[in-house]
Amino acid sequence: MKSFKGQSAMEYLMTYGWAILIIAIVLVALFELGIFNGSTLPTTCVAQSGFVCSSPTYNGGDILVTLGQNSGSTYYSVNAIFLNSTQLASFTSSRSFPSAPPQNTIATSMIPGATYSASIPTQISGSAPIATGISGQIWISYATSSGGTATNFAEVGTFTGKAT
């Protein structure tokens, strides 16, 4: 009677070899798709009551977002600014926008219920690398009458995102 121990051992190694090869291919494919990049920070804009803050994106230099308000009155000379935690502390004590971060005029008048696309610059020079996180608050300054000076401030929402 012949012994088939060698053939049995070879079949065992081939079966497990193919299984390990398939698992390795799946892991490489998942890695290439970015599943294991470790960045789970979503891009969000959580609006304060009476405001709209939707469709947020962060391109590494500017925050692109749709803003609106539902206060019942029209805002004039509306400017938006992004404040990180350091700038927010300065703003809270002075109640005036810091001169360093750039502001962006959203609209000459912001009508209740309407939405406006805004590109709000951040204070990051150049472009942030992809998946770089950023967080802070989006504020607007506005006037209550046409031709008035923008002396009122309102926090629109809290922005958290990563560069895409």
Question: Can you read off the two tokens belonging to residue 114?
Answer: 């309407």
Grade residue 124 by pLDDT with cuts at 50, 70 and 90: low
Question: What's the chain's average pLDDT?
Answer: 82
Grade residue 116 by pLDDT with cuts at 50, 70 and 90: very high
Asked if 132 contacts 119 with a C-beta cutoff of 8 angstroms, the reply is no
Report the number of distinct structural domains present in the chain. 2
Residue count (the chain): 164
- Give yes or no: residues 66 and 138 share one domain: yes
Reduce the secondary structure of 95-114 to three states and give it as a string: CCCCCCCCCEEEEEEECCCC
Q: Which domain holds residue 129?
A: 44-162
Question: Can you read off the two tokens belonging to residue 154?
Answer: 């309102």
CATH number of the domain at 64, please.
2.60.40
* Predicted confidence (pLDDT) per residue in 67-85, tens digit: 999 988 999 988 888 888 7
pLDDT at 102: 60
- Give yes or no: residues 139 and 73 share one domain: yes
pTM equals 0.68
pLDDT at 18: 92
Residues 6+ apart with CB under 8 A from 96: none
CA separation for the pair 91, 81 (Å, rounded): 11
More confident of the two residues 96 and 147: 147
DSSP state of 157: E
pLDDT at 92: 74
- Give yes or no: residues 109 and 156 share one domain: yes
pLDDT at 40: 60
- Give yes or no: residues 118 and 144 share one domain: yes
- Give yes or no: residues 22 and 99 share one domain: no
CA separation for the pair 98, 37 (Å, rounded): 36
- Give yes or no: residues 85 and 126 share one domain: yes
